A and B are shown apart, each in its own frame.
Chain A
Amino acid sequence: MFGLFKNYRRDGLLSIVSALVWMVVVVAVPYVEKLVIDRAITGERRDLLGPLVGLLLGVGLVKALGVGGRRWFAFRLSYRAETDLRNRIFEHIQRLAFTFHDRTATGELMARASSDLSQVRLVFAMLPITIANVTMFALIGAVLIILDPVLGSVTVLTIPAMGVIALLYARRVLAASFEVQQRLADMSSVVEEGVSGIRVVKAFGREDLEVAKVDKVAERIYHKTMELVRERATFVPLFEVIPSAATVAVLWLGGIRVADGAMSLGDFVAFTQYLVILVFPLRLTGWFFAELPRAAAAASRVVDLIAKAPAISEPRSPKPLPDGGGEVRFDGVGFSYPDGPRVLDGFDLTIPAGKSVAVVGSTGSGKSTLSYLVPRFYDPDEGRVLLDGVDVRELSLDRLRGEVAVVFEDTFLFSSTIGENISFGDPDASKEQIRLAARLAQAHEFICGLEDGYDTVVGERGLSLSGGQRQRVALARAILRDPRVLILDDATSSVDAATEADIRAALETVMKGRTTLIIAHRTSTLKLADSVVVIEGGKVLAVGSHSELLTTVPRYEAILAEAVEDADEVVPGAATP
């Protein structure tokens, strides 16, 4: 874990140095107070009173600077490191291939970059003060024993005792709070479920049942919290009472020794001061060591993520892409998803430059996989995928993905303006280019109808567009780059008939003269393509035009029926209210 922070030596060193300075001064303050008492007050040297108090103020100033430096450098170091690490995680996530993202939940990655990082950060922010504190315990121990060996030895014993109690306390409290957190998360999911399912709850008048669920979780929260409360009620007052108990020892043993003349009054006061000083650092140190294992676990999760090598990487010496019209060839391609069945098996298909092909097949036939292999979202297990005669694995990713544009089945839009979403692939695109792309995609008209036109913010934090509108924006985004190859994972599933007609018109314009691979979920899209490829069992079953296939391939209709089974359809005028 500590290796993560080696880039921040300067701030680390500064914060440790200021922490140590602070610590030495902390230990010195009671000693100066003792000097004031012994030399000036009981020594009856009124002339020394002023200079000694002045010394105390000077020491106090150094101490304040030490505290400030320690906090500032430690904070800066830890936030800087957290920020850099978060950048690295983000960068890495962006580079990891689809195979990784298919298997990893968003929430899990979010946790790496948020809660895990803050846990790591906290430990590092506390490292300098912990180093200083541990040194302080030793130093105060030594000072106490030097001040008065007898009384010193007795009081020093309270340090390890308090340390053990502090650690024990921190461990128990952390364990109990973890459990409370779990119960609170339960509460969140129960309420979430009740709210999302409220129509069903009300339909059957079962509000009572839902309330009973919440009651049960609330009861569990109560019990777990009370366990936590009992731990705190047992320990927290101890932290106050133990140093006071040591004060009793000082008063008793020390008082008698002072009365005997074996110890000075100043020593006596210093003793009581040291005991007070110790309390908070001991608790903090206990907390630090209790938290350490969890932070270490969080750190190792972060390191594991960063160390993961992306499954798809840049070739060492990329080949140049020759000029061409975008011929795509699948050559004996075999593919299966990790732990999944074989999807493609000896798959051969050539899409001539400028032509369009629609692929049909039942769910799981591997038709969507085809679209992922061309821009190298996955690499085939066997065989090759070629773009204008070059194996896609030999091209630089930049070049390849610049020439192959994919419109995904679920159209993801970013939280920014429509204009920025369209120019996503080329942030330097001019306004004219953006408008042209939108026109081609039949999106210009509806965009102009929006209040802020191209500056309308969409996505999670903006206006939500209809399915058909999103699709056309995604299409505009794809063709803005004028790619050689266009891949459409056809998803006209969520649009009504009128919009579908619009989209079809848009597709017709953008497909003209461009190599296009359409993954068809709907019969109507088939008619757009020059030819239709039917795949079954990971191989090409037949190729031809829609009408040819209807007559020549007996299974064609059955496959079509199966192919559209997942596609949702909406009847005009009957959308849900």
Chain B
Amino acid sequence: MYARFGSDEKIERPLALLRRAAAMGAHLKWAAAAAVVAVIVATVARLAGPLIVRWGVDSGVIAQEREVITRAALTYLVFLVVQYTANSTALRAVNTVGERYLRRLRVKVYEHLVGLDLDFFGKSKAGVLVSRLTSDVEALTTFSNEGAINVITSTLTVVGVGVGLFLVDTTMALVVLAVMPLLIAASIVFRIFADRAYRRVREQIGLVLGSLQEGISGVRVVQAYNQERSQLHRFHRVNDRYYRANLDAAKAISIYFPTVDFLRTASVGLVLFVGGARVLDGAMSFGSLVAFILYLAWFFEPIIQLSNVYNLLQGALAALSKIFGILDTSPLVQESPDAVAFHRDVEGRIRFEDVTFGYDPGIPIIEHLDLEIQPGERLAVVGETGAGKSTIAKLGARFYDPQAGRITIDGIDLRDLRTDELRRAVAMVPQEGFLFTGTVRENIAYARPEMTDDEIWSVAGVLGIETWLRSLPERLDTEVRERGMRLSSGERQLVSLARAMAADPAVIVLDEATSNLDPETEATVEEALGHLLEGRTAIVIAHRLQTAQRADRILVVSDGRIAEQGRFDDLIASGGVFARLQAVWETAENRTH
């Protein structure tokens, strides 16, 4: 329950983090100020309570003035109404500010995230990126829900009660304060132990879940090898360490809270002992004693609360620094401020002019590449893994900018084009396409959600997949992914091709699928692919012979340079790199058939 979100790393420059976080919420500053005012009013109203009781007891009960008692009671009642209203308003206001802030933060972080380079996604684990928008933002939510208001209330209460104690009776206030160092020391010691224990709990729960997961997904192997018992032993060990870590944390709690509890009783005893003597001496009124006892109840709670808040704050800071980590990553490829649109319809002439590029600028992958692709030409790029074929494709779609040279489409440098214009003209399509949760219709119309059904059907007609689409249980309304049916790999490719067709780009950069399909589906996909590429400039990263064969021109890439290029037959005839590659492919493909 405690230290749930504590961070395991040390947080650098917490104040700078907070300042930056606050700056992002500048639009909420008036709402935040109003919330703080409400919190202050509520706390003051609450703190006034014991003073009213003192007045009632001293001037009413002891003086036997019944009217004063009534007046005190009624005054208290009024204060209670104020207290309730202010408290309720404050809670709502503080949380509203927090939630509005987080609502915007989520969108802002995600917006930034999807704007980052593909390279970034390649390097980061998907799970980690997801956690920035889930568990990290939720750590902030917890702080805003439970922490923020507590910081204000608890601080105000401690200060207010402190002041109240001194107002009522200075000597007594000093007596109570004498207990404070003990309480604070106990809290610090507890914090240290609890933090350590909870860190171990977090580590161990990770291991338990890991073993559990492995035990479940590997259950078939376990049974095949009769290792149920040894697996169980392993699990027992991990599970037991988690148990022990929990017990350590429980021990810290089981010692700290009784200690605080005893300190509280002791301070009441102290107040009664010293205060009782003072009342007997006539140095203090009886009402003051009652007020003191009432105040004491409120003095301890906030201090315990503050130590909890400290934890939440640690968690929130850790989350903030991770979230800022995303926001501080800037995409290498950015739209230039004076980017232009195409002047006329896109023809699709692509030119690489003396292009040099490397993911690490010191290690060029592509060097001094010159290449021109005519409108409507189908270019197959082949080569060994790591030769740079997909790098050429990515440069052509401007997922990266070259370090030297330039790449143009219809004569315009890609860097001078507006991003939306560029994406509309050039689509980089993985043939084994990712489908999004939703209907087949939504997936096909991904690039243009405003497409009508007629338009979608006509796209399907052109690709020759109408019959297949009609055979789906709910046709275009068929849900795919989790909620819907499982499409086969070939069927996913068909949807993916239709999606590209619907986007209708002048230039297609296609990453050919590597998986084998059954002959019938294969034929359908091949046919659809042919229709898709018709009349478009196409750069195809080819993984099979057939595809290379069908291209207008083959570009053989080796070590970032063009080793050969030309028509299929010519390359075979010349007996160069491609001819050798072709021989390997042929044997590989024959073996399976």
Contacts and interface: CB of A to CB of B under 8 A. Distances in A.
Physical interaction between A and B: yes
A225 B266 contact: no
B384 A75 contact: no
Given A191-B129, A222-B99, A226-B96, A90 B514 contact: no
A439 interface: no
Given A71-B250, A204-B447, A245-B80, A401 B220 contact: no
A33 interface: yes
Interface in B261-316: 261-262, 264-266, 268-270, 272-273, 276-277, 279-280, 286, 289-290, 293-294, 297
B133 A191 contact: yes
A5 interface: no
A569 interface: yes
Interface in A243-264: 244-245, 247-248, 251-252, 255-256, 258-259
Contact of A406 (B224, B286, B514): B224
Contacts of A556: none
Interface string A554-577: 000000011011111111111111
Interface string B197-217: 000000000001110111111
A42 B272 CA distance: 12
A241 B45 CA distance: 11
A561 B593 contact: yes
A268 B61 contact: yes
A574 B588 CA distance: 12
A573 B581 contact: yes
A414 B514 contact: no
B258 A65 contact: yes
B80 A94 contact: no
Interface string B67-81: 001101100110010
A522 interface: yes
Nearest to B226: A401
A570 B588 CA distance: 9
A202 B216 contact: no
B56 A53 contact: no
Contact of B232 (A94, A203, A241): A94
B49 A247 contact: yes
A90 B232 contact: yes
B1 to A, nearest CB: 9
A109 interface: yes
Contact of A377 (B224, B246, B273): B224
Contacts of B246: 75, 79
A131 interface: no
B240 A83 contact: yes
B140 to A, nearest CB: 12
A75 B259 CA distance: 18
Given A50-B273, A214-B107, A255-B56, A234 B80 contact: no
B265 A41 contact: no
Nearest to A245: B80
B253 A75 contact: yes
Interface stretch (B7-15, B110-118, B168-176): B110-118
B390 A577 contact: yes
A405 B118 CA distance: 44
Given A83-B243, A197-B436, A204-B446, A572 B261 contact: no
A230 B88 CA distance: 9
B197 to A, nearest CB: 12
Contact of B250 (A72, A415, A523, A565): A72
Interface stretch (B343-351, B421-429, B469-477): B421-429
Interface stretch (B24-32, B317-325, B516-524, B559-567): B516-524
B286 A42 contact: yes
Interface string B499-543: 110010000000100111111000000000000000000000111
B228 A57 contact: no
A377 B224 CA distance: 8
A273 B299 CA distance: 15
B396 interface: no
A572 to B, nearest CB: 5
A65 B254 CA distance: 9
B216 A573 contact: no
B265 A401 contact: no
Interface string B231-255: 1100110011011001100110111
Contact of B72 (A251, A425, A561, A574): A251
A258 B61 contact: yes
Contacts of A425: 225-227
Interface string B427-454: 1111001111100000000110100000
9 contacts: A57-B269, A72-B250, A90-B212, A90-B215, A110-B216, A194-B110, A414-B218, A573-B385, A576-B511
Closest 9 CB pairs of A and B: A205-B423, A60-B265, A75-B250, A237-B87, A565-B518, A252-B73, A68-B258, A425-B225, A64-B262
